[in-house]
Amino acid sequence: MMILAATLCLMALLVLSVRFAHHAGFRRGRRCERVVMNRYLHDRVLPTLEALALGSRSDASAAPARLAELRRAAKEQAALIRRDMTAVPTANRARLAPELAALISELSHNRLRAELIRAEVDDTLPSDRRTAMRDATGEALRNTLKHSGTDRAEVRVAERDGGIAVTVRDRGAGFDADRRPGFGITESIKARMAEVGGSARVESRPDWGTQVTLWVPQS
């Protein structure tokens, strides 16, 4: 019964996520409403539903652990919704590395072991570019968890060509880079970076792994 109640609470949070995505898209204009909603659903709601489905267990001995997992997922989803609903875009500059470190810590609950490698660089960026870099990095890391067959990745931050580059590298199964990319690569990574004047390059091949390179200008 407690697991059912926790599941229902989590589903309610996901419904709120959908409604927030709709209103965010409406505020930005009808042309981008569908893109904003689909990206939000893909990046925020879908991973939680997948974790809920893949982690379901029927044996009674697993009930306490399952309940704790559902509570953690609900708490994280609520925090993300609250952050997105209260965030106000500004031109304030701040460092990128702390946001990437927080992202990696968050994903470690999903058993991802990612290492943040940062040289002594000035990685300060305006708010919109930091957010784009963080969210695109998150999508790349979630793809590692879902598709690569490994739970390890490296995240490198460096100065490059008058801007900041973030490279996400895993040495998992890889894929054929010539195949048609999915929504996560086209919208949650490439389109997101293009919207803030940046770029994204995805390199992958079977048995080599995958490398995603993100870049934004600093000025």
The verdict on 103 and 59 lying in the same domain is no
Closest CA to 24 of 108, 83, 77: 83
The verdict on 28 and 107 lying in the same domain is no
The verdict on 73 and 121 lying in the same domain is no
pLDDT at position 53 is: 59
The verdict on 118 and 82 lying in the same domain is no
pLDDT at position 191 is: 93
pLDDT at position 205 is: 93
Structure confidence by residue, pLDDT tens digits, 137-182: 999 999 999 899 999 999 999 999 999 999 999 999 999 877 878 8
Closest CA to 167 of 176, 177, 154: 154
The verdict on 11 and 63 lying in the same domain is yes
119, two tokens: 């040289």
- Residue 171 sits in a domain of what CATH number? 3.30.565.10
Closest CA to 157 of 218, 208, 112: 218
Burial 141-160 (b: 16+ CB within 10 A, else e): bbbbbebbebeebebbbeee
Q: Please state, in angstroms and rounded to a whole number, the distance separating the CA atoms of residues 164 and 154.
A: 16
Per-residue pLDDT of the chain (219 residues; tens, 9 = 90+): 554 455 555 555 555 555 555 454 444 444 456 666 676 676 766 666 666 555 544 455 566 776 676 676 667 666 766 666 666 655 689 999 999 999 999 889 888 999 999 988 999 999 999 999 999 999 999 999 989 999 999 999 999 999 999 999 999 999 987 787 888 899 999 999 999 999 999 999 999 999 999 999 998
The number of domains in the chain is 2
The verdict on 74 and 140 lying in the same domain is no
pLDDT at position 183 is: 81
pTM of the shown model: 0.71
The verdict on 126 and 206 lying in the same domain is yes
pLDDT at position 197 is: 97
The verdict on 97 and 66 lying in the same domain is no
Provide the domain limits for residue 17: 2-86
| DSSP symbols for 128-192 | HHHHHHHHHHHHHHHHIIIIIS-SEEEEEEEEETTEEEEEEEE-S----TTSPP-HIIIIIIIIH
Strand partners, 115: 154
pLDDT at position 189 is: 95
